[in-house]
């Protein structure tokens, strides 16, 4: 079994280099030599994850739990620890500094033990499996036991891993390259396999076990979601037609993206985060059953909330449905959802993602009544597409999605085959990374939010603005509860949290700013909606924000 210390040392080396090739070489050399049953854990840990995608369990280890463990280990009080944590870069750095300052008290073991990669995974699984009234205490006991086995460097890694703050500049794209190099497989084949399975750690194991042949055999599996194909932002119809010449334009609905799976009368619904939301959406399940009966099918679509007249409601109503965990039948009556389909990925065992879009759309139109389809129109002139856009807006929708007619379905990829056009106030999907306690009537809530964009090269998040606008009192209350559960630092005023919650943010413009490390700041930012359906990895990138900033000067002066 491989010592955990070796993984920690690898992470340190990765963090010390800015060279893409060197990072790939370091990771590939390491996973190549690992036993097969350790590969999955190593890949997850290096990417800042604790459990594989699709595992519905959560560790729910927050800042308070880690602080409690740190107090037990050091014997220090809150004030002493806060003095250290305030000076720390993050919770991992704070953990290491506290253990260096105070002689740690560790749990006694019968035999002297070294922490291994598999043992860390075993602890994570035990913590994630805990349920019930006393689970918090048991969780903290397991964490104390785990940290008792760790030295100071290992403790730093564990604290960062548990809060999702690895800070080593390693993202999934680099990991795909490392897997390809380690097992001598074309990188395109690794990327495709990850797209189809949605779990890079499993692909690493399959690559080690069976090489290219194992990955070539991967197909869509019903009830196993794959990453959705994504659209790139476009400023105008003119821009889209300049790129695509002729395209299919579909209404862009303001709802939740759903991947629907059905086989033998059984139906499941997955979000773009690959979460199973079937239990929350009985009305959508009934609708899909009405559409396809007992056929085996995987389809892509959108569910929107509708009023009694069938008109679309804002996304907040959809979000409210997803959050409801009890009395779901009543919720479905109060806020009915309506399913619209726009793509088909598999039918009766035949995989369709390599078929061109126009064939997939034609097949969908042949299989499904028009009332269940997202309206679409093929256009090659700006006038045609503009008229269709006006029709979409007049019917209460967000805009249009333009699709290249011969494009294949590429799961998880945002390229130049699909474009989204939203001629409304600009919005960005950003991640909340910290919050401050409010003032006046907001004093009881965490209500001033730091909004961050993702660096597509390193995976780190950089603050680009701050806002307290946009949420209702009820949403402030719920957001405060969620942020406290995600917190890894709290000095009584500022709370730093694991990047997890994505919000759609409207703004007037992007400005240069020395205030934030990103060098950018949103002007008049306000939250439009909480995007329960999106992952932090799908948030806007800092690179795209810089492009948007430069585009602002196409029609105005710049000094």
Task: Kindly tell me if the per-residue pLDDT of 423 is higher than 80.
Answer: no
CA angle in degrees (0–180, nearest 5) for 154-155-156: 90
Which structure tokens are listed for 394?
A: 């007049």
Indicate which residues carry an active-site annotation: 252
Lowest mean pLDDT among 66-80, 81-95, 331-345, 516-530: 81-95
Instruction: Map residue 161 onto helix, strand or coil.
Output: helix
Nearest to 462 by CA among 438, 485, 434, 490: 434
The string of DSSP codes covering 229-263 is PEEEEES-HHHHHHHHSSEEEEEE-SSEEEEEEEE
pLDDT digits over 330-380, tens only?
A: 889 999 999 999 999 999 999 999 999 999 999 999 999 999 999 999 999
Starting from the edge strand earliest in sequence, which strands make up the sheet with 256-263, in order?
266-270, 256-263, 297-305, 337-347, 350-351
At 467, give phi and psi (nearest 5°): -155, 155
- The distance of Cα 372 from the centroid of its chain, to the nearest Å, equals 28
d(CA 10, CA 23): 10
Task: Kindly tell me if the per-residue pLDDT of 110 is higher than 50.
Answer: no
Task: Kindly tell me if the per-residue pLDDT of 96 is higher than 60.
Answer: yes
CB neighbour class for 82 (10 Å; exposed up to 12, middle 13-18, buried from 19): middle
Confidence (pLDDT) at 440: 66
d(CA 286, CA 280): 12
Confidence (pLDDT) at 424: 53
Query: Cβ distance 545 to 335 under 8 Å?
Result: no
In the chain, the domains with their CATH numbers are 49-163 (1.10.3260.10), 230-418 (3.30.470.30), 427-551 (2.40.50.140)
d(CA 495, CA 406): 48
Confidence (pLDDT) at 555: 46
If pLDDT is split at 50, 70 and 90, which confidence band does 323 have? confident
- The distance of Cα 417 from the centroid of its chain, to the nearest Å, equals 22
Helix orientation angle between 4-16 and 20-33, rounded to the nearest 10 degrees: 170
Q: Name the average pLDDT for the chain.
A: 90
Mean of pLDDT values over 306-331 = 84
Mean of pLDDT values over 211-221 = 95
d(CA 376, CA 251): 7
Helix orientation angle between 36-46 and 200-216, rounded to the nearest 10 degrees: 130
Confidence (pLDDT) at 492: 75
């Amino acid at each position: 079994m491989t010592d955990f210390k070796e993984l920690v040392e690898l992470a340190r080396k990765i963090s010390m280099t800015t060279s893409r090739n060197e990072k790939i070489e370091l990771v590939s050399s390491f996973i190549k030599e690992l036993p097969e049953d350790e590969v999955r854990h190593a890949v997850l840990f290096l990417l800042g994850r604790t459990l594989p995608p699709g595992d519905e369990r959560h560790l729910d280890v927050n800042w308070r739990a880690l602080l409690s463990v740190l107090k037990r280990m050091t014997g220090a009080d809150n004030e002493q620890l806060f003095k250290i944590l305030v000076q720390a870069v993050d919770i991992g750095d704070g953990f290491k500094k506290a253990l260096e300052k105070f002689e740690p008290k560790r749990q006694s073991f019968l035999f002297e033990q070294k922490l291994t990669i598999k043992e860390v995974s075993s602890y994570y699984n035990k913590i994630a499996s805990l349920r019930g009234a006393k689970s918090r205490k048991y969780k903290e006991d397991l964490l104390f036991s785990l940290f008792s086995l760790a030295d100071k460097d290992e403790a730093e890694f564990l604290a960062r891993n548990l809060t999702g703050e690895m800070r080593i500049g390693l993202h999934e794209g680099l990991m795909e390259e490392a897997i390809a190099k380690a097992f001598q497989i074309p990188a395109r084949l690794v990327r495709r396999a990850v797209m189809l399975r949605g779990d890079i750690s499993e692909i690493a194991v399959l690559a080690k076990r069976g090489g290219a042949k194992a990955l070539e055999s991967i197909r869509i599996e019903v009830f196993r979601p794959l990453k959705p194909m994504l659209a790139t932002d476009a400023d105008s119809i003119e821009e889209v037609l300049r790129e695509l010449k002729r395209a299919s334009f579909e209404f862009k609905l303001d709802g939740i993206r759903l991947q629907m799976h059905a086989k033998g009368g059984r139906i499941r619904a997955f979000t773009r985060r690959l979460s199973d939301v079937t239990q929350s959406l009985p009305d959508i399940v009934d609708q899909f059953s009405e559409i396809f009966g007992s056929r085996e099918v995987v389809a892509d679509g959108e569910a929107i909330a509708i009023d009694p007249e069938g008109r679309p409601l804002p996304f907040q109503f959809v979000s409210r449905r997803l959050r409801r965990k009890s009395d779901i039948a009543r919720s479905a009556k109060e806020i009915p959802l309506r399913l619209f389909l726009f793509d088909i990925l598999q039918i009766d065992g035949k995989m369709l993602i390599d078929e061109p879009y126009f064939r997939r759309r034609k097949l969908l139109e042949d299989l499904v009544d028009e009332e269940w389809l997202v309206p679409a129109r093929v256009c090659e002139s700006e006038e045609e597409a503009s008229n269709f856009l006006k029709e979409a807006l007049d019917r209460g929708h967000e805009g249009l999605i333009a699709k290249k007619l011969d494009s294949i379905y590429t799961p998880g990829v945002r390229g130049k085959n699909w474009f989204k056009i939203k001629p409304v106030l600009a919005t960005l999907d950003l991640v909340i990374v910290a919050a401050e306690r409010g003032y006046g009537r907001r004093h009881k809530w965490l209500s001033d939010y730091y909004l961050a964009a993702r660096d597509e090269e390193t995976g780190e998040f950089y603050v680009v603005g701050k806002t307290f606008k946009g949420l209702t009192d009820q949403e402030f209350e719920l957001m405060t509860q969620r942020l406290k559960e995600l917190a890894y630092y709290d000095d009584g005023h500022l709370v730093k949290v694991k990047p997890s919650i994505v919000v759609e943010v409207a703004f007037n413009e992007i400005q240069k700013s020395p205030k934030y490390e990103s060098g950018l700041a949103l002007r008049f930012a306000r939250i439009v909606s909480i995007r329960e359906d999106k992952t932090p990895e799908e948030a806007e990138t800092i690179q795209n924000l810089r492009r948007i900033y430069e585009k602002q000067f196409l029609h105005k002066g710049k000094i």
